[in-house]
């Protein structure tokens, strides 16, 4: 194998595929990047067997071939090369020769036949979604995926498509984020339970261009996402996702409407005190159109007041301040609605008049809310 290509384009390609490079594995081949020639381009592939990313970059092919270079080392070498063309070759001993205008390096690789083949999508169903829409949905929900939980069902994200409606849901046992979008051209019905790491990688590869589309294929417990020059293959999480619709309250005793920005600044200040305590608690006291935000810890306390529109009973309720920080960080609106029943029941927060993006947060029982 022998080819020449732009060092900057090769760096871009490696940045894409190495997101799927195996971090901890007993199979050394998964620590490598598969390099294959194809007409006037090279194909780069990395896989940790749960997610596989393939991308293509233009190249001048002098001799066809395929081989596996050590992923981390190869990536670091290419990133340190000067701008311009880089020439890469591999001999029959799988030794890669990397040359640029002022540098020449040799590194040992492996046989491409040892690299796993691409997952086959069986009985596939296809749908095309705007990339910016899908990226926005991931950004608005992925933070609610459990980072490290023995319950695998909480470590991923649910993508549902039905009757022109696209839902993305994430939850970790303490809060839930649901983002719903309308896409009238989508008539298929299916759902995919995607592992958290894959969700994050997919979000980073999607474009913000409103004219760019992602072509999704589902089937046989696998998901394929086709982008412009990149393909993503994901092994879906087995099993049934949580029936999140049963978790969402149907009615509420109290509704509070307020300007988001003053509340965001208030919560941000209060968390400086709350995070110094053992329980990270933020107390909300809702009384006759006034919201009092309080936090207490060994280092001090905070008391702030906001005017709100209140419909329903007065109430005291406490939350882990981290979850409220996430809510106010990801909602992009002038005003929010907070829907409450009592001090121990789930609370719903959403932009005013927009039930398509909601946060459910479980309160914390304290003596101050009894």
Q: Are residues 48 and 151 in the same domain?
A: no
Over residues 60-85, the pLDDT tens digits come to 999 999 999 999 999 999 999 999 99
* Of 138, 114, 133, 109, nearest in space to 234 by CA: 138
Name the pLDDT band for 370 (thresholds 50, 70, 90): low
Q: Are residues 138 and 237 in the same domain?
A: yes
CATH number at residue 343: 3.10.150.10
Residue 277 pLDDT greater than 80, yes or no:
no
pLDDT of 149 reads: 61
Q: Is residue 231 part of a domain?
A: yes
Phi then psi for 316, rounded to 5 degrees?
-115, 135
Q: Is residue 119 part of a domain?
A: no
Q: Which residue has the higher pLDDT, 369 or 316?
A: 316
3-state secondary structure 111-147: CHHHCCCCCCCCCCEEEEEEHHHHHHHHHHHHHHCCC
Domain boundary among 182, 215, 246: 246
pLDDT of 187 reads: 67
Check the CA dihedral 204-210-141-48 and report its sign: negative
- Mean local confidence (pLDDT), 136-159: 87
Q: Which residue has the higher pLDDT, 11 or 277?
A: 11
Mean pLDDT is lowest, of 100-114, 182-196, 335-349, for: 182-196
What is the domain count for the chain?
A: 3
Q: Which residue has the higher pLDDT, 176 or 276?
A: 176
Q: Are residues 295 and 206 in the same domain?
A: no
Cα 226 → chain centroid = 17
Residue 123 pLDDT greater than 80, yes or no:
no
- Mean local confidence (pLDDT), 235-254: 91
pLDDT of 140 reads: 96
Domain boundary among 246, 273, 303: 246
pTM comes to 0.91
Phi then psi for 290, rounded to 5 degrees?
-125, 135
Q: Which residue has the higher pLDDT, 238 or 358?
A: 358
Over residues 286-330, the pLDDT tens digits come to 999 999 999 998 889 999 999 999 999 999 999 999 999 999 999
Q: Are residues 275 and 305 in the same domain?
A: yes
Distance CA 265, CA 127 (A): 41
Q: Are residues 182 and 94 in the same domain?
A: no
Q: Is residue 203 part of a domain?
A: yes
Max Cα separation, the chain? 80
Distance CA 111, CA 95 (A): 10
Name the pLDDT band for 182 (thresholds 50, 70, 90): confident
Q: Are residues 98 and 149 in the same domain?
A: no
Name the pLDDT band for 90 (thresholds 50, 70, 90): very high
Q: Which residue has the higher pLDDT, 80 or 277?
A: 80
Residue 188 pLDDT greater than 90, yes or no:
no
Q: Is residue 66 part of a domain?
A: yes
CB 7 within 8 A of CB 79: no
CA dist 98 → 11, 68, 140 (Å): 14, 14, 42
Q: Is residue 120 part of a domain?
A: no
Phi then psi for 157, rounded to 5 degrees?
-130, 140
Q: Are residues 357 and 284 in the same domain?
A: yes
Q: Are residues 131 and 230 in the same domain?
A: yes
Name the pLDDT band for 124 (thresholds 50, 70, 90): confident
Q: Are residues 271 and 362 in the same domain?
A: yes
Burial class (CB in 10 A: 0-12, 13-18, 19+), 335: middle
Domain boundary among 114, 143, 159: 114
Q: Are residues 133 and 215 in the same domain?
A: yes
CA dist 105 → 71, 146, 233 (Å): 15, 43, 32
Q: Is residue 187 part of a domain?
A: yes
Q: Is residue 281 part of a domain?
A: yes
Q: Are residues 227 and 253 in the same domain?
A: no
The crossing angle, in degrees rounded to 10, of helices 196-205 and 131-141 is 140
Q: Domain of residue 348: give its range.
A: 249-369
Phi then psi for 307, rounded to 5 degrees?
-80, 135
- Token readout for 53 is 């990313």
């Amino acid at each position: 194998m022998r080819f020449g290509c732009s060092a900057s384009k090769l760096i871009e390609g490696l940045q894409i595929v190495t997101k799927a490079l195996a971090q901890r594995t007993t199979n050394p081949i998964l620590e490598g990047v598969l390099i294959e020639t194809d007409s006037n381009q090279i194909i780069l592939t990395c896989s940790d067997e749960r997610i596989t990313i393939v991308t293509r970059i233009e190249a001048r092919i002098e001799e066809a071939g395929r081989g596996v270079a050590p992923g981390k080392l190869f990536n670091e070498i290419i990133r340190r090369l000067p701008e311009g063309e880089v020439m890469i070759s591999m001999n029959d001993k799988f030794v890669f020769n990397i040359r640029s205008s002022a540098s020449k390096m040799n590194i040992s690789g492996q046989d491409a036949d040892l690299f796993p083949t691409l997952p086959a999508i069986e009985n596939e169903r296809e749908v095309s979604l705007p990339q910016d829409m899908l990226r926005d949905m991931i950004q608005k929900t992925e933070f609610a995926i459990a980072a490290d939980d023995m319950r695998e069902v909480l470590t991923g994200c649910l993508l549902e498509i039905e009757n022109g409606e696209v839902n993305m849901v994430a939850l970790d046992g303490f809060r839930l984020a649901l983002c719903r979008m309308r896409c009238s051209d989508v008539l298929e019905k299916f759902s995919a339970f995607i592992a958290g790491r894959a969700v994050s990688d997919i979000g980073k590869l999607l474009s913000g261009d409103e004219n760019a589309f992602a072509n999704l294929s589902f089937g046989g417990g696998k998901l394929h996402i086709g982008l412009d020059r990149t393909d993503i293959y994901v092994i879906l999480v087995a099993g049934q996702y949580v029936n999140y619709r049963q978790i969402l309250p149907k009615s509420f005793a109290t509704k509070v409407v307020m300007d988001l920005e003053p509340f965001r600044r208030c919560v941000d200040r209060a968390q400086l005190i709350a995070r110094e305590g053992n329980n990270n608690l933020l107390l909300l006291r809702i009384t006759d159109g006034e919201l009092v935000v309080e936090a207490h810890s060994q280092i001090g306390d905070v008391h702030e007041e906001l005017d709100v529109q209140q419909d329903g009973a007065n109430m005291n309720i406490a939350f882990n301040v981290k979850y409220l920080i996430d809510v106010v960080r990801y909602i992009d609106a002038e005003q929010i609605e907070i829907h409450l029943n009592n001090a121990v029941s789930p609370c719903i927060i959403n932009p005013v008049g927009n039930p398509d993006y909601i946060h459910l947060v479980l309160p914390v029982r304290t003596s101050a809310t009894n």
